[in-house]
Structure 1
Amino acid sequence: MRVYGIVGYKNAGKTGLMERLVTEIAGRGFSVSTLKHAHHSFDVDQPGKDSHRHRQAGAQQVLLSSRDRWALMTELRGTDEPPLADLLRQLAPVDLVLVEGYKRDAHPKVEAFRASTGNPLIATDDPTIRAVASDTPLTIDQPVFDLDDTRTIADFILSEVGL
């Protein structure tokens, strides 16, 4: 599977860019999956639902299935968060996996950058960042794209992964 990342600081536009890229790339006929890192605890389940009750009872994994979708929830129960490579192996094969976050991992990435956040560029010190999608002109070694130019960013990523 081909893997490409979108990284950046909070409020830099990562999620919006991811959403637009999935729409653009899937619209070109490629199969796309996403993997997002969350820096906080989250729950996709609801208290009182049967699946939540199974987890609360101590189940290591709960698979919830319906005619429209299925979801597998795995409780870490105090063990370390799995590395990106292990999580990628859990996904069904697709043409491209877009990863939001995991900025310290070795896969190639585009950095989303908004000047208004006041954060520094990650790209200047990270060789895995191959381009920057920015809301302001930048003078750096990597290519710089307009943050809203989804088509050009998609072209770049697809070219980088050989699709």
Structure 2
Amino acid sequence: MDIRCPADVSGAILVGGKSRRMGCDKSLLPLGGKPLVERVIDAFRPLFSHIILVGDREERFASHGLPVYPDIVTGSALGGLHTALVRAGTPYLFVSACDLPWPDPRLIARLCSMRDGYDVVVPRMPHGLEPLFAVYGTGCLPAMERMLREGNFRIYDFYPEVRTRYVEQGELAGLVVPGRTFVNINTPREFETIRNKEEGMSVKAVSFVAKSGTGKTTLLEKVIVELKGRGYRLGVIKHDAHRFEIDHPGKDSHRLTAAGADTMLISSPEKLAVVKKHDASPPIDELIATYFGDVDIVLTEGFKKSGLPKIEVHRKERSATLLCRGEAHDPTLLAVASDEPLELDVPVLDLNSPAQVADFVERAFLK
């Protein structure tokens, strides 16, 4: 079915938020194999002939092949919406935030179809208005510009001054799924919850990464002690890029494995160990799902190329640069544990305070 929107409506995605509560650029967080912003772009492509991004970080979005416009008036979603209306070049605009995991093209097309005779078409759900998933016309610009001059950045405050169409949930039958359609992501915990829904991960996980010799094992050891003291059940995965042996020649278990067993398990009254042969390292999500269903959180050491949320360990004597910031910009970085002050877009924790690092993990994933 063709759901393309009329040519007088452009699509705009706001990508200029500071993501303070998330601690990193949430538009680039990977979900289901794609950054969040790309999921919104994919929903827009079959609908609009003209799509723009609005924000001040053009270099991060150049790969999408869409125009990126910096805010004319910085510092608010209202400023981003104003910029989108000015730059779009069409009488109407459908605007979305960049952090909606499940934008529905059918719902967008339905809202756009209601635009005639109105300056704003906005969903009004039981929980409130959805001003960043709505249609706006250029007739809104005078009221927007007045509010920006006055320093009033609450978008829906200008609705009474223009022709506003409030769309109730009952008018969108079959298009709105409570707890899904208008969900957005603001915090690491929200992202983890949504990632579990999308990707099926039932166990929370965070990876400690660092350049070799920085001391991530020492920090991780102390964080484990802290979290165990708070009553949590912990799993730990250590990434080893080299071959390793946990069994020794002469032991019965080693003889059985050497004889050709593909999986060998040894069990005692206190613990068990599994030796399982494979041709390539299994995905980290598969390891977590298979072996760690009985813990509250998995702490991994390494796996810097994975999509897991990350805490980078930094020691100034080891390196002046970071793995996840600088030349690389890993959107899954949640925090840096450092022994020196750093100016970053994520929280900087005290490397010498395992309790502070444990507090961050507990706050982000366990409470």
Q: Quick one: distance in 1 between partners of 2:256 and 2:352?
A: 43
Please tell me the residue identity of whatever aligns with 1:131.
Answer: A
Q: Quick one: distance in 1 between partners of 2:218 and 2:355?
A: 14
The structure showing larger relative contact order (alpha-carbon pairs under 8 Å, at least 6 residues apart) is 1
**SS of 1:97 mapped into structure 2:** strand
Instruction: Show the counterpart of 1:58.
Output: 260
Displacement of 1:129: 1.0
Q: Quick one: distance in 1 between partners of 2:220 and 2:232?
A: 15
Displacement of 1:101: 0.8
Instruction: Show the counterpart of 1:150.
Output: 354
Task: Looking at secondary structure, tell me which structure has more helix per residue.
Answer: 2
Displacement of 1:81: 1.2
Q: CA RMSD in A?
A: 1.2
Please tell me the residue identity of whatever aligns with 2:358.
Answer: A
**SS of 1:16 mapped into structure 2:** helix
Instruction: Show the counterpart of 1:88.
Output: 288
Contact 1:34 1:97 in 2 (8 A): yes
Equivalent of 1:98 in 290, 299, 317:
299
Write the mapping of 1:20-39 to structure 2, written as runs, cut at 5 A. Answer: 20-39=222-241
Q: Percent identity?
A: 39
Q: Quick one: distance in 1 between partners of 2:338 and 2:320?
A: 12
Displacement of 1:119: 5.7
**SS of 2:317 mapped into structure 1:** helix
Displacement of 1:65: 1.1
Structure 1 unaligned regions, length at least 5: none
Cα distance per residue 1:118-142 (max 9 Å; x no partner):
2620231111111100122211111
Equivalent of 1:5 in 207, 211, 219:
207
Displacement of 1:29: 0.6
Q: Quick one: distance in 2 between partners of 1:101 and 1:59?
A: 28
**SS of 1:159 mapped into structure 2:** helix
Displacement of 1:90: 2.3
Q: Quick one: distance in 2 between partners of 1:106 and 1:60?
A: 29
Q: Quick one: distance in 2 between partners of 1:120 and 1:52?
A: 43
Cα distance per residue 1:69-104 (max 9 Å; x no partner):
11011012xx12111011112223211110111111
Aligned residues: 161
Larger-gyration structure (1/2) = 2
**SS of 1:115 mapped into structure 2:** coil
Equivalent of 2:273 in 56, 71, 79:
71
**SS of 2:291 mapped into structure 1:** coil
Instruction: Show the counterpart of 1:42.
Output: 244
Please tell me the residue identity of whatever aligns with 1:2.
Answer: K
Instruction: Show the counterpart of 2:344.
Output: 140
Q: Quick one: distance in 1 between partners of 2:250 and 2:299?
A: 33
Displacement of 1:162: 3.7
Please tell me the residue identity of whatever aligns with 2:321.
Answer: P
**SS of 1:90 mapped into structure 2:** helix
Instruction: Show the counterpart of 1:131.
Output: 335
Displacement of 1:109: 1.1
Contact 1:135 1:146 in 2 (8 A): yes
